Amino acid sequence: MTPAAIVFWGTGFAQVVLAFSMLLCAWRILIGPRAQDRVLGLDTLYLNGMLLIMVHCIRTALTAYFETSLILAVIGFTSTVALAKFLMRGEVIE
């Protein structure tokens, strides 16, 4: 096997695994018994979405979506912090 074929099949496998992981995160968001479980599922869903975009960039050798994954990571982090603060204090802005 050539190195290009190894990268192609490896990234394809990684995309399938990340998509399955996103399904499990969505299940945790829908079924989670507590709000903390739902926030954790949402945070993991953002992370897996960002990684799925990054793997797609590696597989297609396009660098156009790297900024998109960075923006998704920042939005995911800020939403997780805001939701955690809301769950702890009951308000986001003091």
Of the candidates 27, 57, 53, the one whose C-alpha atom is nearest the C-alpha of residue 41 is 27
What confidence tens digit (pLDDT) does each residue in 13-59 have?
999 999 999 999 999 999 989 988 999 999 999 999 999 999 999 99
On whether residue 94 sits in a domain, the answer given is no
CB-based contacts of 80, cutoff 8 Å, min separation 6:
39, 42, 43, 46
CA-CA distances (angstroms) from residue 23 to 18, 29, 31, 67, 70?
9, 10, 12, 24, 22
- Domain residues for the domain of 80 are 3-89
Tell me, rounded to whole angstroms, the distance of Cα 43 from its chain centroid.
7
On whether residue 76 sits in a domain, the answer given is yes
Q: What percent of the chain has pLDDT over 70?
A: 98
Over residues 67-86, mean pLDDT:
89
> What's residue 2's pLDDT?
93
The total domain count for the chain is 1
On whether residue 32 sits in a domain, the answer given is yes
Separation of alpha carbons 6 and 90, rounded Å: 50
